[in-house]
Each structure stands twice: as structure tokens, then as C-alpha cells.
Amino acid sequence: MSAFQAPAGRYAPSPSGDLHFGNLRTAVLAWLFARQTGRNFYLRVEDIDSERSSAESAQRQIEDLQMLGLDFDPPVMYQHDRGDAYADALSRLDTYECYCTRRDIREAASAPHAQPGMYPGTCRDLSEEQRAFRRSELHAEGRLPAIRLRAHVKEWTVRDFYQGEYTGPVDDVILKRGGRIDQAQAGDWAYNLAVVVDDGYQGVDQVVRGDDLLFSAPAQAYLADRLGLTVPVYIHVPLVVGPEGRRLAKRDGAVTLREMLAGKSVEDVVSQIAESLGYVGVSSVQELLEEFDPAQLSREPWLWTPQQPEGF
């Protein structure tokens, strides 16, 4: 049962490094959409990937967002504390063990008539004898199987603020990752399960994120439906891209807030974010909140250029 009250929005970064300009822009947009509609706004630290996440990175990200002027309703949630909730959700779903390696999935995906990016269902209909054999093989190698959702639909429709109704494919997504038996831990929970369970728990009914994630919304919405949770309204916003037209990354230069602050003020950075959203002469997120019009947001990616205009 949720201790939170809807409606709410959220920003949920993975603490695997400092946030870059594109991450910061999306965070500001998530905050703007939530605050303009009277929603609570939560920060969730998506740290279930223990190999890539760190407490130091999470703290730096929180400090960076606060430096921009963003405020969050308490508490900050950490996914590494949520294992019991994920286990409870898993127990209420129709699932099966998957014994495939990444190589198995790649080879199956390259077969004729395979749907790119979708799990082909290799382990879905194995007999009990076949499962026992595959399970014993994995155990002999010191590994555990993954757990997948047994989806009962091929596609699902979601509502997106900019796209309208969007229908996309649904496959048997991983809910709990496999791994070595001697290294099994809470971090084995998969993103698709964790994000849906946490959104439901926090009463999140508005999800703002990059439009490269639109493809994943149908499967997550279907999973929420299976768990009896409210399916959020999605707002997929354009990305920031680097000079080569790819999603902005650290390879594109001094793109993190702390790097940018070596030659600029926080107000300069906020002003650049505001300009990327179509607002000139705005140097605080509170000013931006007063002027922001969601309908006027460009649907095109915003191009990051290492050399900013003179005076910026």
C-alpha cells in the first residue's frame, strides 16, 4: 500500500556518474510539468544496478539538481531499499524462468522473422523436464536463471502528452536478472519491474523522460495494469544531442554541471537550459516556471555545441 498521495511527478536518475546537460534539462522539464500542474515532485535514486551505482554519485547528483534550484518533496527514495516490494510484486505476476544467455538472445534475434529488440520467447513454453535440465545446467555453472513476465498481449496502448495515443509491442520483459549464485543480491531486480512498482507506490501519475524511452512505455504500462496500478500519463520530451547527432554523452566535452561551472555561473547554466526550451533572458527555474508553456516546446532534438555564443 502506498504511503504517498497522488498526483505526483518524479525524476529518477541512475547514480553512475555526474548528470550531463541533457539529464539536467530533462530534470528541469519534469519539475516544470509537475509543479505547473500542482503535483508533488519526487526524486528517486535508481541504484538497483550495484555494479554501476554508487552512493557518492547519488549525492553529487542530488547536490547538482539542488544547485539548479529544483526542490523535491520528501523523502528521496533509494531503490536498493525496495527489494521486499519488488519480491511481493513478482509473486503476483505470471512469470517463468529464462535460461538464455545474452549470446542466445542475440542469435535468436538475428533469426528470420525475429522482431528486433524483442525477446523471442525461447524459454516460455519449455516442458517441466526441459526446465529441470536447463536449471541444473545453470546451477552447475554457479548461475541462477532470470525471471520473465509471461505477457498475454502482443501490444499495448499508452497516452503520451505529445504523441497522443501510442501503441507499441509488449514482450516477456525480464523482471529479475539472473547471475552468479554466490553474488545474488537485491541489485538483481530489473528496471522494468522496479520503475513500475515504485511509480505505483509513490502515486506517480505523470512520467516525464527522454523520447528515446517511448518504446518501453507500452510494456511498463501493461505491467502496471497487471499489478492493478494506475498507469501514468507519459510525457516524452526531445533529447539533447551532440555535434554528431547522437544522444549527448560525456564524450562531447565539458557537459556536466560541475564541468560547466568551471567557466560559468549556475545562473548561466539555467539560462542555457531555458534557451534550449525556447526562453531567452531567464536565469532561474522559478522564472522559467512562470513562463513555461508545454505546448510551445519544440519537438526537435536540441543541438549541444561545445562553443556557446559569445556572452553566454
Give the per-residue pLDDT at 310.
41
- 83-104: buried (b, 16+ CB within 10 Å) or exposed (e) per residue? bebbeebbeeeebbbbbbeeee
Given a contact cutoff of 8 angstroms between Cβ atoms, the answer to whether 210 and 222 are in contact is no
Residue 201 counted as an annotated binding residue:
no
Residue 13 counted as an annotated binding residue:
yes
Residue 103 counted as an annotated binding residue:
no
Residue 247 counted as an annotated binding residue:
no
Residue type, 207: V
Mean pLDDT (10-residue bins), the chain, 312 residues: 77 95 97 97 93 92 98 96 96 96 75 74 96 94 94 97 97 92 71 97 97 97 97 97 87 87 95 96 97 97 69 38
Give the span between the Cα atoms of 207 and 220, in whole angstroms. Answer: 12
pTM of the predicted structure, to 2 decimals = 0.92
Give the per-residue pLDDT at 251.
80
Task: Tell me which residue has cell 544547485.
Answer: 67
For 20, other C-beta atoms within 10 Å of its C-beta total 23
Give the per-residue pLDDT at 111.
62
Residue 8 counted as an annotated binding residue:
no
Residue 119 counted as an annotated binding residue:
yes
Extract the C-alpha cell encoding 258: 560541475
Give the per-residue pLDDT at 186.
44
Residue 78 counted as an annotated binding residue:
no
Residue 85 counted as an annotated binding residue:
no
Where do the domains of the chain lie, and which CATH numbers do they carry? Answer: 8-81+238-303 (3.40.50.620), 87-188 (3.90.800.10)
Give the per-residue pLDDT at 275.
96
Residue 42 counted as an annotated binding residue:
no
Residue 14 counted as an annotated binding residue:
yes
Q: What are phi and psi of 18, to 5 degrees?
A: -70, 145
- H or E segment at 274? helix 266-276
Residue 234 counted as an annotated binding residue:
no
Given a contact cutoff of 8 angstroms between Cβ atoms, the answer to whether 29 and 41 are in contact is no
Give the per-residue pLDDT at 109.
61
Extract the C-alpha cell encoding 113: 522473422
Residue 114 counted as an annotated binding residue:
no
